[in-house]
């Protein structure tokens, strides 16, 4: 598929690649079947400016138009190409997606609004909060392909709850389809900043507890969010958690300020181990791959990837890896993977990028071939990769399906 101007990263969803590029205010948006390469539909949208990139979800695709007054307009399309809605968001408003719902937070109106995208109608409304958290599931984290930055291209089977937290520490468990409150609780007081993650039916809060050093990890059961359980504590002075990522069915991986990785057992409490994975600024994506934990360490030509088992054993390989399923990853050579920590840096040059498959358990490598691409524009699933080159998007199959 040819394009003009600036190519955006390819989005992969439900057997389709969504390919977008922008040139002088015109956004081209094309849907292509991965199986066979057929162009399913093609759109051209004109505006003064577009937000970089599109987002593809299970139920729809979103492109965001930007305006001079810092307001934005959402253009939402069904997988069939039908335009489902066009909605302007005022300055300061933000949006999230859950299945077929568009959630709009508007601080000026003091509202969170749930919109049924297919019906183009309001499905619910509740009081505004800046802090709204989805709840991830193991089904969504365990076996799907992930970007070099760590996020999953496709996230099936989401939890049907979200968690809203206000400035006073009051927590509301909300129905993700309409915003109705299901449960309420008051969070334990924490000193200073803290991280929050919804995962596996729990709200996980990581930070410094009052009158303590280091950090602690607490879990609230979303079905009965009363008093929290303390899962783990590290009392080392000035040690903080930089990132918290699901990395197993009942595991949450913490990357701390000393560049160590700690998997915390969120079912029974305690940690499996704590191991150095690099300087904290250089630690990249952390992903579960079946019963392995994949950790990227990205610093120019010294980039490498570690595959840990749950006992702490590790296999380390040179290059930047990204999962394609629960057992296999794509491994990219450091000189072709422009990554700093968690961020894939934009590239203006097209390279011949070798594709190598690597087994997370066996370490066995398979040379697949190469693609002419800017790696920052690539998206993939378990069998296909889509990338932009100089002036065309191309789709390649790298394994039989």
β-strands 181-186, 190-199: how paired? unpaired
Q: Identical fold at 1-90 and 281-401?
A: no
Average pLDDT over every residue of 358-385? 95
β-strands 215-221, 229-234: how paired? antiparallel
Q: How confident is the model over 114-145, as pLDDT tens digits?
A: 999 999 999 999 999 989 999 999 987 778 89
User: How far is the C-alpha of 45 from the C-alpha of 234, rounded, in Å?
Assistant: 52
Q: How confident is the model over 292-306, as pLDDT tens digits?
A: 999 999 876 778 999
Q: How confident is the model over 270-280, as pLDDT tens digits?
A: 999 999 998 88
User: How far is the C-alpha of 51 from the C-alpha of 64, rounded, in Å?
Assistant: 5
Strand arrangement, sheet containing 241-248: 241-248, 251-256, 260-265, 275-276
Every domain of the chain and the residues it spans: 1-90, 281-401
* Burial class (CB within 10 angstroms; exposed 0-12, middle 13-18, buried 19+) of 43: middle
Q: In the prediction, which pLDDT does 191 show? A: 65
Is the domain defined by 281-401 classed in CATH 2.20.25?
no
Q: In the prediction, which pLDDT does 300 show? A: 63
- Which of the two residues, 187 and 268, has the higher pLDDT score? 268
Q: In the prediction, which pLDDT does 278 show? A: 86
The answer to whether residue 205 scores a pLDDT higher than 70 is yes
Q: In the prediction, which pLDDT does 169 show? A: 87
Percent of the chain's residues with pLDDT above 70: 99
Strand arrangement, sheet containing 304-308: 283-289, 292-297, 304-308, 314-318
| Structure confidence at residue 333 as a pLDDT band (50, 70, 90) | confident
Q: In the prediction, which pLDDT does 212 show? A: 79
β-strands 339-340, 328-332: how paired? unpaired
**Mean residue pLDDT across the chain:** 93
Average pLDDT over every residue of 191-196? 81
Distances 384 to 36, 38, 114, 193, 378 between C-alpha atoms, Å = 11, 14, 34, 40, 10
What's the topology of domain 1-90? Answer: Thrombin, subunit H (2.40.10)
- Look at phi and psi of residue 317 and say left if phi exceeds 0, alpha if psi is from -120 to 50, else beta: beta
| Structure confidence at residue 256 as a pLDDT band (50, 70, 90) | very high
Q: In the prediction, which pLDDT does 4 show? A: 95
Q: How confident is the model over 31-43, as pLDDT tens digits?
A: 999 998 999 999 9
| Structure confidence at residue 339 as a pLDDT band (50, 70, 90) | confident
The answer to whether 262 and 253 have CB atoms below 8 angstroms apart is yes
Q: How confident is the model over 146-175, as pLDDT tens digits?
A: 999 999 998 777 899 999 999 888 999 999
The pairs formed by 261-270 with CB atoms below 8 angstroms and a separation of 24 or more are 261/286, 261/293, 261/295, 261/308, 262/232, 262/234, 263/293, 263/310, 264/217, 264/231, 264/232, 265/231, 266/199, 266/200, 266/202, 266/204, 266/219, 266/231, 269/229, 269/230, 269/231, 269/232, 270/231, 270/232
Q: How confident is the model over 357-369, as pLDDT tens digits?
A: 999 999 999 999 9
Q: In the prediction, which pLDDT does 345 show? A: 79
* 401 closest CA partner among 31, 36, 30: 36
Q: Count of CB atoms within 10 A of residue 123's CB? A: 18
Secondary structure string (H, E, C) spanning the chain: CECCCEECCCEEECCEEEEEEEECCEEEEEEEECCCCCEEEEEEEECCEECCCCEECCCCEEEEEECCCCCEEEEEECCCCCEEEEEEECCCCEEEEECCEEEEEECCCCEEEEEECCCCEEEEEEECCCEEEEEECHHHHHCCCECCCCCECCCCCCCCEEEEECCCCEEEEEECCCCCEEEEEECCCEEEEEEEEEECCEEEEEEEECCCCCEEEEEEECCCCCCCEEEEEECCCCCCEEEEEEEECCEEEEEECCCEEEEEECCCCCECCCEECCCHHHEEEEEEECCEEEEEECEHHHCEEEEECCCCCEEEEECEEEECCCCEEEEECHHHCCEECCEECCCCCCEEEEEEEEECCCCCEEEEEEEEECHHHCEECCCEEEEECCCEEEEEECCCC
The answer to whether 29 and 45 have CB atoms below 8 angstroms apart is yes
CA angle at 111 for the pair 107 and 112, rounded to the nearest 5°: 105
């Amino acid at each position: 598929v040819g394009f003009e101007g600036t190519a955006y990263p390819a989005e992969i969803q439900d057997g389709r690649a969504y390919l977008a590029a922008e040139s002088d205010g015109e956004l081209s948006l094309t849907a292509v079947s991965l199986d066979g390469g057929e162009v399913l539909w093609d759109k051209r949208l004109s505006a003064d400016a577009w937000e970089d990139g599109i987002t593809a979800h299970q139920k729809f695709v979103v492109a965001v138009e930007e305006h001079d007054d810092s307001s934005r307009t959402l253009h939402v399309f069904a997988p069939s190409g039908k335009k489902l809605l066009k909605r302007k968001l005022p300055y300061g408003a933000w949006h999230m997606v859950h299945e077929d719902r568009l959630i709009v937070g508007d601080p000026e109106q003091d509202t969170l609004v749930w919109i049924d995208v297919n019906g183009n109608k309001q499905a619910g409304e509740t009081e505004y909060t800046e802090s709204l958290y989805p709840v991830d599931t193991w089904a969504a984290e365990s076996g799907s392909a992930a970007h070099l930055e760590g996020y999953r291209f496709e996230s099936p089977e989401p939890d049907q709850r979200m968690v809203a937290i206000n400035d006073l520490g009051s927590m509301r468990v909300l129905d993700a389809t309409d915003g109705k409150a299901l449960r309420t609780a008051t969070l334990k007081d924490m000193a200073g900043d803290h991280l929050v993650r919804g995962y596996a039916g729990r709200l996980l809060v990581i930070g410094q507890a009052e009158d303590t050093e280091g950090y602690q990890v607490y879990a609230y059961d979303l079905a009965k969010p009363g008093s929290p359980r303390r899962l783990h504590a590290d009392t080392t002075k000035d040690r903080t958690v930089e990132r918290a990522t699901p990395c197993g069915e009942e595991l949450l991986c913490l990357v701390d300020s000393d560049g160590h990785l700690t998997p915390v057992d969120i079912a029974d409490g305690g940690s499996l181990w704590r191991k150095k994975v690099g300087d904290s600024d250089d630690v990249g994506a952390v992903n579960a791959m079946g019963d392995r934990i994949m950790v990227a360490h990205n610093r120019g030509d010294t980039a490498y990837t570690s595959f840990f088992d749950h006992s702490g054993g590790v296999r380390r390989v040179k290059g930047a890896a990204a999962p394609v399923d629960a057992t296999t990853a794509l491994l990219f050579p450091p000189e072709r993977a422009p990554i700093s920590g968690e961020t894939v840096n934009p590239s203006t040059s097209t390279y011949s990028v070798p594709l190598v498959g690597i087994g997370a358990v066996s370490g066995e490598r398979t040379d697949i071939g190469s693609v002419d691409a800017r790696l920052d524009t690539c998206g993939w699933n378990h069998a296909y990769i889509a990338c932009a080159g100089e002036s065309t998007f191309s789709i390649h199959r790298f394994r039989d399906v």
